[in-house]
Amino acid sequence: MSLIKNLKITTLAENLVMTKCLGQWGLSFLLEFIDAEGDRRKVVFDTGIHKKSLFYNIKQLKVDLNDVDCLVISHGHADHTTATVEVTEAAGGVKVYAHPHTFQPRIIEDKTGKRRRHGVPKDEGINEIDRVGGEVVLTSEPVEIVPGVWTTGQIQRVMPFERAVSPSEGERRIIVVDGEEADDQILDDQALWMDVEQVGPFVITGCAHAGPLNTLRQVQRLGHFANIYGLVGGTHLVGRSGNYLQQTIEGLRKFKLSLISPCHCTGFKATARLWQAFPEAFILNFSGRVIEAEKEPKKRVI
């Protein structure tokens, strides 16, 4: 297995604010590292829901997007894709990796039959990315985006209790694929993973609609790992029942995590439960948080 080193994860956008940055109901990470061939790399994972807030944070954090190597989109919801064109353009035109469903039309239908758009914003599609020099790479299979860093591809859903959160009562989530409407199971949900030298495997999630346990199991299969060192990102545990949270925590224990930093769609209740369950591994995430794989954070919880 190819190893990377010096992994640094900067939260460019997230719900919580503890610094001079701005918060938003969205998510964006910058990953900086030395790849498996010894080259310095930058990868942006997701692009949030509010352009101005994202770029305000980028400025405050003194992040340079000019040398970003590529973008990865976790799934096709607006809170992860609203500044994809702008970030691609700022990077000078780079590859954007996504699942084939990511840019497909999505709809929420309420119990009266009224519909509203739900998905990637209309000005952030494939054609708009192409116009600023980007190249969209669509695949449901795992792909090595730079040496030593992979997407999970479409995640196998083997844990019977882990199901994508249903919309509000009476609503239906719809995706249109090849002109046909179907119930949207958010099959495009994917994560990033890498093996950090002298540390271990890290997994970066967007929302983990496929379930955090399914996601980690997928990485275990792909990388042939016994354990997972770090999990950073959304877990979509917001609004889940106490029993659901307990099953998730029990499942997470089996991966013997040394670092867990849940955020975005995790929700306060689940975040608190994860802190209680993993007090030595837990790192509170927020806009502007920097996590370095080989270093102890100054403050795990602020």
Rounded CA separation 106/298 (Å): 42
- pLDDT, residue 107, reads 95
CA angle 262, 267, 273 (to 5 degrees): 70
Rounded CA separation 241/132 (Å): 44
Q: What is the mean pLDDT of the chain?
A: 96
Rounded CA separation 207/34 (Å): 26
Residue 299 inside a domain? The answer is: no
Residue 232 contacts residue 291 (beta carbons within 8 Å)? yes
Task: CATH number of the domain at 270, please.
Answer: 3.60.15.10
Residue 186 inside a domain? The answer is: yes
Residue 262 inside a domain? The answer is: yes
In the numeric block, which tokens belong to residue 243? 């029993």
- The per-residue pLDDT for range 168-183, each reduced to its tens digit, is 778 999 999 999 999 9
How many domains does the structure of the chain reveal? Answer: 1
- pLDDT, residue 64, reads 97
pLDDT in tens, the chain (302 residues): 699 999 999 999 999 999 899 999 999 999 999 999 999 999 999 999 999 999 999 999 999 999 999 999 999 999 999 999 999 999 999 999 999 999 999 999 999 999 999 999 999 999 999 999 999 999 999 999 999 999 999 999 999 999 887 677 789 999 999 999 999 999 999 999 999 999 999 999 999 999 999 999 999 999 999 999 999 999 999 999 999 999 999 999 999 999 999 999 999 999 999 999 999 999 999 999 999 998 988 889 98
Residue 194 contacts residue 221 (beta carbons within 8 Å)? no
Mapped onto helix, strand or coil, the DSSP state of residue 10 is strand
Phi/psi for 268 (5° steps) reads -65, -45
CA angle 293, 269, 259 (to 5 degrees): 15
- pLDDT, residue 1, reads 62
Q: Helices (H) and strands (E) in the chain — how many of each? A: 6, 17
- pLDDT, residue 124, reads 98
Residue 300 inside a domain? The answer is: no
Rounded CA separation 279/43 (Å): 29
Residue 171 inside a domain? The answer is: yes
Rounded CA separation 119/116 (Å): 10
Q: Could you list the residue range(s) of the whole structural domain that residue 150 is in? A: 5-292
Residue 48 contacts residue 75 (beta carbons within 8 Å)? no
In the numeric block, which tokens belong to residue 193? 């993973």
Rounded CA separation 180/95 (Å): 28
Residue 241 inside a domain? The answer is: yes
